[in-house]
Each structure stands twice: as C-alpha cells, then as structure tokens.
Amino acid sequence: MKIEYLSLDLETFSSVDLKECGVYKYAESPDAEILLFGYSINGEPVKVVDVACGEMIPDGILRAIVDQKITKWAWNATFERVFLSVWIKRNYPQYFQGYGSPDDTMGSYLNPVSWRCTMTWAAYLGLPLSLDAAGAVLKLSEQKMSEGKSLIRFFSVPRTPTKNNPAARNYPQDDKSKWETFKAYNRRDVEVEMQIQHKFRNFPVPEFIWEEYHLSEMINDRGILIDTAVAENAIDFDRRTKNELMARMIELTDLENPNSTQQLTGWLNEKGIETDSLDKKAVITLLEDCPDDVAEVLKLRQQVSRSSVKKYQKMEMTMCADGRARGMFQFYGANRTGRFAGRHIQLQNLPKNHMADLAEARAIVKNGDYETMRLLYEDIPDTLSQLIRTAFIPKPGYGYIVCDFSAIEARVLAYLAGEQWRLDVFSRGDDIYCASAAAMFKVPVEKHGQNAELRQKGKIAELALGYGGSVGALKAMGAIDMGLDEAELQPLVDMWRASNPNIISFWWDVDRCVKESVRLHCDTETHGIKFSYKSGMMFIMLPSGRSLAYAKPCIGENRFGGESVTYMGTDSSKKWSRIESYGPKFVENIVQAISRDILVYAMRTLSSYFIVGHVHDEVIIECRAETTIEEISELMGRTPPWLPGIELLGNGYRCAFYMKDD
C-alpha cells in the first residue's frame, strides 16, 4: 500500500518529568523509550506495535516518518515528532534525516514540514486543546478512554521504590491486564484523532497557517542558549539571601515561622495593626502608615515572598544537554486570537529590567561573588528578578538583535477604525500617550515639557479604554495606584471616547455585524472585516486570510438586560462554557489577532535569520556582528500586502545578552 499519510500516537517512558521539563529534555534522557506505537495508514484500521514487549515498528513506517513527502498527523504533533527524532536517531541512525544548515542547532530533529497537528486544527476552530475535551465537545462516537491517566502513571513514569518492591518503574509483565488496557488506550487515541480530522474536514486549516506552524516548530527546535553560571549562581544567591532574611525576621518577631501568613498576621495584630491578608497590595498599603519596626518586617516579607528564583530553576529543568532550552512557544496557544502562548520558562511574562548597572550586577552573579552582591545591592531578590532575562545568551561569536513593533495594537486599532488624528501621530513618529492626552484635555502635552503631568493620564487611558473599558478597566490597570483620584476616572473615560469617535463607531459596527450574522446566518462586513455563519460556527475573516472561529454562537441577554452574543469556548477557569461577548470585545480579538498576524509576517520575512525567540511584539535574533540593526528593523517594519497603508515601525537594539531596552 502506498502511504499518503500516517496518523500516529506514542506511549513512552522517560525518567525525566515531561510536564516540568518539556518533550525535548524528556526525549533526550538515556532511558527514554517507546512503549507502544499506534498508527494508521491512509485512514485504515489502527495497528498497535508493542515495542516494550519486543515488537518492531515496520521499516516502511520508519521510512515514512522520515520522508518529507508523506504527511504525519498527531494530536500535539510536537511530542511525536521530537520524541521520534531522538529515538530514531538513537536506534535507527541509518534512517534519520535532520535539517537546517551545519551551523544550525536543528539537526537533531526531523523536519516539521511534513507534520500536521490535530490540536492546532482544533485551536484554529476555537475548540479545546485537550484530546478528551475536544472529543467530548464534538460528541464523537468513540471517546478518549478515561483510564489513560492512571495507566500513564503506572507504565510511563518512574515509581518510588519501596522495601517490598525496589523497582524504579513498572513493566508490562508487572500487570498484564493493565498492559492490555494500555494498548487499547493507545489504539483509541489514534481513532479519536482520526474522527476529529473527519469532523473538521469541511473547515480546513489554510496552507499558510501550516507554514506558520512549521516556522514556529523550527524556532522551538533551535532553542535559546542559557548561561548556566548565571542561572546556578542566581539560585544559590537566592537561597542564601532568603536564609539571611528569614533569620532577621525571626530575630525581629520572635516567631517560629514569620513567613507564615497566620503567624505574621497574629504578630501584627499584637502590634495593633489589623489585617487579614499579606498579599502584595495589602503589604504596600500597610507600609504607608506603620511604625519603623513593623515596616522593616514587612519589607523583609516582600523580599522573602519574591519568586525570582523560579524562572532560573525552570531554566535548569528545561535546558537540553547542549545548554539550549527548547519548546518555549506553543503555536496557536490562545485559540481566541491565534497568538502564541509561552511554555516552561515563559518568556512572555519575564520581569522587566530597570537597573542602570544591569551588566555589572550580572557579572557579579556570573562570577558567584555573593559578598559583593550583599555589599552593593540592598534588595537581592529584586536584583535577581531583573537579571532573569540576562540568563539568555547568544552562542560564542554571536550577539542578539532584539526588534519590536512600536505601539502595534494602537496602530492596528487606529488603522481599522480610520481614526485619522491617531494615524497622523504615528506617521509623524510622535508619542501616542502625549497626543492622546492633548486630544483629551485640549492642551499641548510634551513628554518632558509643557503639561508633562498629563501624559500619565493619556497613557493609562490608552492602555485601558481601547476595547470598551470604563472606570473598572482604569482601576484594573492601576489608575488609583498611579495617583489618579476616583472622581476623575469617569471624566477620563468620557474625554477619551469623545476624542476617538471613529473607534467608538468601529466597536458598534462590529457589534451590529456579529449580531446580524448570528441571527440571520448570513455574511456581513465592516471596516474590511468579514463575518460569516456556517454549520453552527461564526467566523471573522481577517485581512491576512486567517479566520477567527466562535462555536455555537447565539443571541442572548446580558447582565444589564440588553442583547448580547454568546458562544462556546474555554473560559478563564479553563472550562468549556458559554461566553458572553459584545462589539468592543470582538474588536479586541480582531486587533490582537491582526497584531499577531503582523508579527508572524515579520517572522516569515526574517526567517533566513536565526530567530531564537519572540515575545508578544518582538523577535530575538542570534546573529554575527555584520548583521545590522537597520536591516533587521527595516525588515521587521515592512507592511504586509494584505494591510496596505498601515504604518509600522520596527525598533531594534543590539545586546550581548537578552534584556529590555527601555
């Protein structure tokens, strides 16, 4: 039989913790092995190869796996591709074919170009990102077996040896009945994945999305280099500092464990200070008016509570044998917009660095000079937190160019809405926060000049109000903490909206189009964005040709008694439930999705360069000195052909280690 495509699922063992360390480190472990290999050829009945009991994967299947002309399907295909890459290279080196240039770091993995991911397909259609949840939502005739988790714990992860059973893991012969069930579970997973593909057949993923997926996989394969000395010493510095801080807290409070919220609140009560919380905001409030001895304890508490070391620990967990951390980015991790999600170290939420002497502080940590660190820096946990980015380094002989977009969401929103004064601000290269404040207060505002104090109000308004936000959004963005009075918040909302009438119109034009499409099951369009309804799905077609999908939309009533659109999706608690939305929220999805498409367009334009990471609206490129900031910035800022006339600005800077250049 000629193989056109394979559907695959693996059951594996490794002593490395998959959840904590990721598939690259997991597969790299010397004891990593395939237990069961489930596969289907061209949609035919599923076969299971019992590798753990000595059965061999057929040569024709191994050749098909490495053949770039044959498509391989799997749920979360990254796992199967990466694990099979390492396993085939280790056990069948004659079949293995890596990819990339000799100077690249991707040669240890199979080229992703012939792989397709059913989970990505589900995400593209707005469905859950777990196989069992997706199967349940789709009401498949065959569902993922519920016994799977317990079987994986039994066979696929190490066990804790006991006196009666010193074995470090369970084997098939240890429970033959469970093993037969495990084989049935492996078979069922392939069957469920194939059913999902069949269900999705009328809603194919565009080919250019698969090309984006392949680029994302290449960046994950490439990895980003970790400075192990910085990471290891930072962990050691944190441990020593926390011990010293705790000793000082015990001395001041005479408590057995002053880091205990219960014990410390009791101590504060004895001091006449009532509080039922010691979270970050509560401590800041308490520090505003408390005696010096209490203030010292609370400041120590702030330092002890800072979790700066967790990122460094994650670096050590994730890092492969060559010192590079891989698998940091999940393609289509946010299925409402298609944006990437961070994994493992989570580059998307690293603390910013504001230190003027960042390089000097980093050198102290790299050299392991704890005494100098104690002498020069009062708050060591905060210093270590600001240094987290600097643990990412280019390989020897290379540097980083980091390039990002300036105010990308604000530019996209103004472009779509046709808010001309904002477009003029971007065209002139002016500061949008100053311009927004000037439009709101009808006076000139300069960043370091006249009416400079109004810029902060312009900034908070820009960040909070673009997607229908009001007073609550300003508060959530920290308006009160920034010094704004409660009484001026609603006027701020009113002024921002009055100065942006086209954006307000855009919100409600989108709201109208969505409702009309859902109610009448028809196509609608506004501001170059198309809306359609098909087979119980509402689609928003973006200028790039990509669609956003909303499952089972309907017209409902919101909490204010008005009309709203609801749809089924994964909510903030990660449950599949009905979600309420309206025009401004759909605009937020649209703007963020287009911003994501612009970033991916830039990544594809820059794909001949060595991209090792990307965070929100920036890319991190490992390059030699002859690569210039100007060429990267120019390529980054190129206008996509599907968004003619939008003015983009790429801002690049060079650094010897990753950092945020403010």
Q: Find the domain containing 62 and state its range.
A: 5-205
Q: Final residue of a domain: which of 326, 349, 372? A: 349
265 and 197 part of one domain: no
The confidence score (pLDDT) of residue 103 equals: 66
Written as six digits, the tokens of 73 are: 């399907």
pLDDT above 90 for 637: yes
**Cross-strand partners of 50:** 36
- Within-domain flag for 642: no
DSSP structure class, residue 42? T
What backbone phi and psi angles, to 5 degrees, belong to 476?
-60, -30
Least confident of 82-91, 132-141, 226-235: 132-141
Calculate mean pLDDT across residues 59-70: 97
- Within-domain flag for 624: no
93 and 129 part of one domain: yes
Closest C-alpha among 343, 379, 419 to residue 591 = 419
- Within-domain flag for 637: no
- Within-domain flag for 426: yes
Q: What is the mean pLDDT of the chain?
A: 94
Q: Final residue of a domain: which of 479, 499, 519? A: 499
28 and 131 part of one domain: yes
List, in order, residues 6 or more apart from 651 with CB less than 8 Å away.
403, 404, 405, 406, 633
Distance CA 407, CA 640 (A): 17
Question: Mapping DSSP to helix (H, G, I), strand (E, B) and coil, where does residue 606 land?
Answer: coil
- Within-domain flag for 523: no
H/E stretch holding 360: helix 358-366
149 and 261 part of one domain: no
- Using 50, 70 and 90 to split pLDDT, how confident is the model at 33? very high
233 and 191 part of one domain: no
The CATH number that applies at residue 132 is 3.30.420
157 and 59 part of one domain: yes
How many beta carbons lie within 10 A of that of residue 430, not counting itself?
A: 13
How many beta carbons lie within 10 A of that of residue 2, not counting itself?
A: 6
Number of domains the chain is built from: 3
92 and 181 part of one domain: yes
pLDDT, tens digit (0-9, with 9 covering 90-100), for 239-266: 999 999 999 999 999 999 988 999 999 9
141 and 258 part of one domain: no
- Within-domain flag for 459: yes
325 and 474 part of one domain: no
- Within-domain flag for 127: yes
pLDDT above 80 for 104: no
186 and 243 part of one domain: no
List, in order, residues 6 or more apart from 496 with CB less than 8 Å away.
436, 440, 461, 465
pLDDT, tens digit (0-9, with 9 covering 90-100), for 569-587: 998 888 999 999 999 999 9
- Within-domain flag for 488: yes
Calculate mean pLDDT across residues 605-632: 96
Angle between helices 489-498 and 432-441 (to 10 degrees): 100
The confidence score (pLDDT) of residue 102 equals: 65
pLDDT, tens digit (0-9, with 9 covering 90-100), for 391-437: 999 999 999 999 999 999 999 999 999 999 999 999 999 999 999 99
What backbone phi and psi angles, to 5 degrees, belong to 128?
-60, 155
183 and 321 part of one domain: no
What is the percent of the chain where pLDDT is above 90?
80
What is the percent of the chain where pLDDT is above 70?
100
**Cross-strand partners of 549:** 539
The confidence score (pLDDT) of residue 335 equals: 82
The confidence score (pLDDT) of residue 307 equals: 74
- Using 50, 70 and 90 to split pLDDT, how confident is the model at 662? low
pLDDT, tens digit (0-9, with 9 covering 90-100), for 481-532: 777 888 989 999 999 999 999 999 999 999 999 999 999 999 999 999 999 9
DSSP structure class, residue 185? H
How many beta carbons lie within 10 A of that of residue 266, not counting itself?
A: 13
Closest C-alpha among 462, 494, 466 to residue 479 = 462
Q: Final residue of a domain: which of 446, 471, 499? A: 499
Backbone conformation region of residue 210, classed left if phi is above 0, alpha if psi is from -120 to 50, else beta: alpha
pLDDT above 80 for 615: yes
118 and 195 part of one domain: yes
Q: What is the pTM of this model?
A: 0.93
